[in-house]
């Protein structure tokens, strides 16, 4: 699949001032951002943030109250046929017909998109890549949960969509399926497929995604490169084990974020709280250190910090 360089041509997904309300609940409140062709993009947020509502709007399952969504320039309302043809969505829920064989289910799914026998070799390739080759003639109802999840992934890709949304694809699945899925998606992405990932496994997003958007309470908190997001917050973490079961002195206690198994973790502002000052404070209090380690903030730390603040509006 040949894809223009990032930034060339229309965005893979354009979300412009999208709003959606259910009764008194404002699920999306003026959401606006773009995902460029060829990106591996993370769409993150806590439960109830509005991610599922947005995905449903993109895929045409529901309509926004206001705003516009386009897939590769095709409006999802006025040009919905072309938009859906360009899009593949792997849903959270296991939705399938239990009375079809795996290969027949995939061929029927391809037919919904106007595809015929020309995609059958691609279906066979996906069955092998997703380690379903020995299940091609098995009835769907006989498959394990993990195998059904693999079929869902194949269903979303039967028509070779240039834009793919993975909605919690590894929730509740084993390590083997995660590895199989990520190998496959990396290969598709390398060939030009735009991949949008929602996940609560933030280490996956940190490893896989070029850029990340964090949504909370229907508002865009931030959209930035993963590297930029990790570097924008000037803090680090210091973990201490104090000798003889000592406790932190009052002047340092406000820096403590957690205490587990005798280890105390402190969150330090790089400018306001040099590590040397912590050591000096402990020494002045007569407290000895038994062990020490440091770590840089990861995506989970930044995610928690951003979503813990009031959702007043977007961050640039």
Q: Which position has the token pair 């299940």?
A: 135
Q: Residue 256 has which token pair?
A: 């403590």
CA pair distance 306, 54, nearest whole angstrom: 20
Q: Which position has the token pair 């790089």?
A: 270
The third-level CATH classification (topology) of the domain covering 234-296 is: Alpha-Beta Plaits (3.30.70)
Largest CA distance in the chain: 78
The answer to whether 12 and 72 have CB atoms below 8 angstroms apart is: yes
CA pair distance 103, 140, nearest whole angstrom: 10
What pLDDT score was predicted for residue 93?
76
SS3 of the chain: helix, strand, coil, percent, to 5:
35, 30, 35
pLDDT band for position 302 (cuts 50, 70, 90)? confident
Pairing of strands 40-44, 211-216: parallel
The answer to whether 103 and 123 have CB atoms below 8 angstroms apart is: yes
The answer to whether 136 and 100 have CB atoms below 8 angstroms apart is: no
The third-level CATH classification (topology) of the domain covering 7-86+161-232+298-316 is: Rossmann fold (3.40.50)
What pLDDT score was predicted for residue 309?
60
What pLDDT score was predicted for residue 259?
86
pLDDT band for position 222 (cuts 50, 70, 90)? very high
Helix, strand, or coil (residue 67): strand
Angle at 89 between CA 23 and CA 219, to 5 degrees: 40
pLDDT band for position 313 (cuts 50, 70, 90)? very low
Going by the DSSP 8-state scheme, the letter that residue 102 receives in this structure is: H
Q: pLDDT at residue 314 above 70?
A: no
What pLDDT score was predicted for residue 8?
63
- pLDDT tens column, 97-141: 778 999 999 999 999 899 999 999 999 999 999 999 999 999 999
What pLDDT score was predicted for residue 177?
82
Q: pLDDT at residue 316 above 70?
A: no
What pLDDT score was predicted for residue 221?
92
- pLDDT tens column, 51-105: 999 999 999 999 999 999 999 999 999 999 999 999 999 987 777 777 899 999 9
Nearest to 152 by CA among 129, 138, 135, 169: 169
Q: pLDDT at residue 240 above 60?
A: yes
CA pair distance 128, 221, nearest whole angstrom: 40
The answer to whether 195 and 164 have CB atoms below 8 angstroms apart is: yes
What pLDDT score was predicted for residue 3?
46
Burial class of residue 64 (count of CB atoms within 10 Å of its CB; 0-12, 13-18, 19+):
buried
The continuous run of DSSP H or E covering 259 comes out as strand 256-260
Residue ranges covered by each domain of the chain? 7-86+161-232+298-316, 98-152, 234-296
């Amino acid at each position: 699949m040949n894809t223009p360089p990032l930034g060339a041509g229309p965005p893979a997904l354009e979300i412009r001032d999208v709003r959606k309300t259910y009764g008194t609940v404002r699920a999306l409140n003026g959401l606006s951002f773009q995902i460029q062709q060829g990106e591996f993009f993370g769409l993150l947020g806590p439960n109830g943030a509005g991610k599922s509502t947005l995905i449903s709007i993109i895929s045409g399952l529901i309509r926004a109250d206001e705003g516009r969504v386009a897939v590769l320039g095709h409006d999802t309302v006025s040009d919905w046929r072309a938009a859906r043809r360009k899009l593949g969505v792997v849903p959270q829920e296991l939705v399938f017909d239990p009375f079809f064989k795996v290969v027949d289910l995939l061929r029927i799914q391809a037919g919904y998109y106007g595809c015929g026998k020309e995609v059958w070799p691609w279906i066979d390739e996906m069955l092998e890549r997703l380690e379903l080759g020995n299940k091609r003639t098995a009835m769907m109802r006989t498959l394990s949960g993990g195998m059904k999840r693999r079929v869902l992934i194949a269903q979303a890709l039967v028509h070779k969509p240039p834009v793919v949304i993975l909605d919690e694809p590894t929730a509740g699945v084993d390590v083997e399926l995660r590895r199989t899925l990520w190998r496959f998606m990396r290969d598709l992405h390398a060939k030009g497929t735009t991949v949008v990932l929602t996940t609560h496994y933030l280490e996956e997003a940190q490893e896989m995604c070029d850029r990340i958007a964090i949504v909370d309470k229907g508002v865009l908190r931030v959209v930035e490169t993963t590297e930029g997001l990790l570097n924008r917050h000037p803090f680090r973490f210091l973990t201490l084990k104090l000798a003889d079961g000592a406790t932190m002195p009052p002047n340092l206690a406000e820096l403590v974020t957690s205490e587990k198994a005798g280890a105390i973790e402190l969150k330090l502002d790089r400018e306001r709280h040099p590590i040397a000052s912590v050591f000096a404070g402990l020494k002045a209090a007569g407290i000895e250190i038994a062990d020490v380690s440091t770590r840089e903030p990861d995506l989970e730390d930044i995610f928690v910090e951003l979503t813990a603040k009031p959702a007043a509006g977007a961050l640039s």
